[in-house]
Amino acid sequence: MATGRNVMRAVRVSEFGGPEVLKLLSDVLLPNPKENQVLIKVHACGVNPVETYIRSGAHARKPALPYTPGTDVAGVIEAVGDHVTVFKKGDRVFTNGTISGGYADYTVAAADTVFPLSDKLDFKQGAAIGIPYFTAYRALFQKGHAKPGETVLVHGASGGVGIAACQIARAYGLKVLGTAGTEEGMNIVLRNGAHKMFNHREADYVDKIKEFSDVRGVDVIIEMLANVNLATDLQLLSPGGRVMIVGSRGPIEINPRDTMMKESSIIGVSLFCATKKLMHECETALLAGIEAGWLKPVVGPEYPLEKVAKAHEHLINSSGALGKMVLLI
């Protein structure tokens, strides 16, 4: 191999379950890039909530066991497969679509899911782009059809997707409202695109949002915890308003009549459903945002690869997100 070694460290999951099923092995075979693929030396890997659901076996998409989690990595090209001409060894890159898994020293990705990493961003920020920013763009525009001048409420704005949604919405001319559960979280979001923040731990925060958004309500809600907030969201919408379901951890009871009164919509969002054409649209917009300077991921908790189980525990049990969690490889 180009690396001069044929084994590496990688986290392997051999059975679905709690964080304890994440096992760091040191003798995993180094993946080999095939045609139209690249091998990346991983410097950082984003940790996404969906990875905890998949690991537990609770997600509809169940990979064949054993597998290595992780899709969003940033690092350096180590080798390229046949027919790859846009990258060469040593290039700084990020990807949102590893094939062999990102919780590892090296990973393989299809060349068309790999992008140059701007010198404006470090590897940790590069690992924080993938799922959060692509999901936020898809929720706002491809599914939510948000328009400049409309009001968007990011319900749970201090995590990776939330901050991404605020930065993107502000750059595209929307009025941006957000919620977070801590003073620190609220301040982070105010520095990253929100015009106004509300503390969702305050009993009257919904009334404050209604008062601020006037009688009309908000046009689009980006919802991170639908099983808690969906019924409330429907009360906050403007006529024709849309709730975009980005995250949910269980069922909730709502009154369908609440959607009838304003002809509002509840729309699920999943990157897994996006076509290549739609992903390319996201990619083009986000790369332009990096170049323009408004796309700046906020890195939150950092864990070494050896502490991956603690990282998943933190993600599940955290009382309030502060930026994007990353593994340092």
Q: pLDDT, tens digit, for every residue of 256-299?
A: 999 999 999 999 999 999 999 999 999 999 999 999 999 999 99
Cα 125 to Cα 72, 241, 297, distances in angstroms: 11, 33, 5
* Residue 137 forms part of a structural domain: yes
Does 118 lie in the same domain as 20? yes
pLDDT of residue 319: 73
Does 157 lie in the same domain as 113? no
3 pLDDT band, cuts 50/70/90, is very low
Does 174 lie in the same domain as 116? no
Q: What CATH number should be reported for the domain holding residue 154?
A: 3.40.50.720
**Domain span holding position 62:** 7-128+299-328
Q: Which of 254, 272, 290 is the last residue of a domain?
A: 272
- Considering its fold, how many domains does the chain have in total? 2
- Show Cβ contacts of residue 85 under 8 Å, excluding neighbours closer than 6 positions: none
4 pLDDT band, cuts 50/70/90, is low
User: How does pLDDT run across 222-239, given as a tens digit for each residue?
Assistant: 999 999 999 999 999 999
What is the spatial distance between Cα 267 and Cα 222, in angstroms, rounded to a whole number? 10
- Show Cβ contacts of residue 173 under 8 Å, excluding neighbours closer than 6 positions: 148, 149
Coil, helix or strand for 271?
A: helix
Does 15 lie in the same domain as 104? yes
What is the spatial distance between Cα 243 and Cα 133, in angstroms, rounded to a whole number? 18
pLDDT of residue 216: 87
Average pLDDT over residues 156-173: 97
Average pLDDT over residues 173-198: 97
Nearest Cα residue to 223 out of 213, 215, 233, 214: 233
- Quote the percentage of the chain above a pLDDT of 90: 93
Does 124 lie in the same domain as 176? no
pLDDT of residue 7: 96
Does 146 lie in the same domain as 238? yes
Task: Evaluate the omega torsion of the peptide bond into residue 297 and state whether it is cis, within 30 degrees of 0.
Answer: no
Coil, helix or strand for 47?
A: coil
What is the spatial distance between Cα 81 and Cα 32, in angstroms, rounded to a whole number? 8
What is the spatial distance between Cα 168 and Cα 137, in angstroms, rounded to a whole number? 7
Does 167 lie in the same domain as 122? no
CB burial string 246-259: b at 16+ within 10 A, e below: bbbeeeeeeeeebb
Does 209 lie in the same domain as 306? no
Would the pTM of this model clear 0.75, i.e. be above it?
A: yes
- pLDDT of residue 320 exceeding 90, the answer is no
Tokens of 131: 């799922």
249 phi and psi angles, rounded to 5 deg: -115, 20
User: How does pLDDT run across 190-218, given as a tens digit for each residue?
Assistant: 999 999 999 999 999 999 999 998 878 99
User: How does pLDDT run across 55-109, given as a tens digit for each residue?
Assistant: 999 988 899 999 999 999 999 999 999 999 999 999 999 999 999 999 999 999 9
Does 268 lie in the same domain as 137? yes
* Residue 116 forms part of a structural domain: yes
Does 92 lie in the same domain as 18? yes
| Burial (Cβ within 10 Å: 0-12, 13-18, ≥19) of residue 230 | buried
Tokens of 238: 């403007």
User: How does pLDDT run across 100-121, given as a tens digit for each residue?
Assistant: 999 999 999 999 999 999 999 9
pLDDT of residue 321: 82
pLDDT of residue 317: 87
